[in-house]
Amino acid sequence: MIRKYLFFVQNDKIAVLYTHGREISFLSKDGDIFYDIKEDFWTWWKDNIDFMDEEARDFVFVWNNKNEVIFNSPYFCEQRINSAWDKDTLMRILSYFRDKNLLNHAIKVQSDDGKSIGDIHSNEIYLTNMKFETPVQVGEETRQQPKIIIGLESPMQQRLREELEREEAQRYSYR
């Protein structure tokens, strides 16, 4: 399984999004979608999602301000060539942020090759390690437009809940 995460850095705050099936969820912290980036961010993140360093990963970063905690970590990569994250999904995320007043203004997101999405007339420029033109081979579960939901549980909590639901369904299916 490939872990797919998008880290959206806005000043000294971060929003972490992840995919599971056709859904995109936020990894919230104390109920907040955006939270302060602190020195222990990566430790908190790994513990919260039960991440192992040797796992396959697809990490995309979008930022308006390089934060040392994020960009000096082994998880940051300068350029994400093949990614399941695409520009259409990123546009939907930006629209969601605007609709929920998580972004106060229109922004432009620009890759290192100068290609950009969002409001191309905006002076508020965010950068990304995504490549907007790269064709990606994706699995069947990601071919359809993903649904954005607010996840109030971590992936680890979700797996535990789903396991308990399966056990409960099995328990009642034998009666």
User: Which DSSP symbol is given to 29?
Assistant: B
Q: What is the pLDDT of residues 13-55, one digit of tens each?
A: 999 998 877 788 899 998 899 999 999 999 999 888 888 878 7
Residue 161: per-residue pLDDT: 60
SS3 42: helix
Which residues touch 138 (CB under 8 Å, ≥6 apart)? Answer: 84
CA gap 84, 137 in Å, rounded:
8
Q: What does R_g of the chain's alpha carbons equal in angstroms?
A: 17
For 40-44, 99-103, 129-133, 169-173, which range has the lowest pLDDT when averaged over its residues?
Answer: 169-173
Q: Say what the pTM is.
A: 0.75
Residue 147: per-residue pLDDT: 55
Q: What is the pLDDT of residues 95-126, one digit of tens each?
A: 888 888 888 788 899 988 888 888 878 888 99
Q: Does the pLDDT value for residue 82 go beyond 60? A: yes
- Unique residue bearing structure tokens 């203004």: 105
Q: Does the pLDDT value for residue 66 go beyond 50? A: yes
**Which of 90, 85, 82 is closest to 134 using CA atoms?**
82
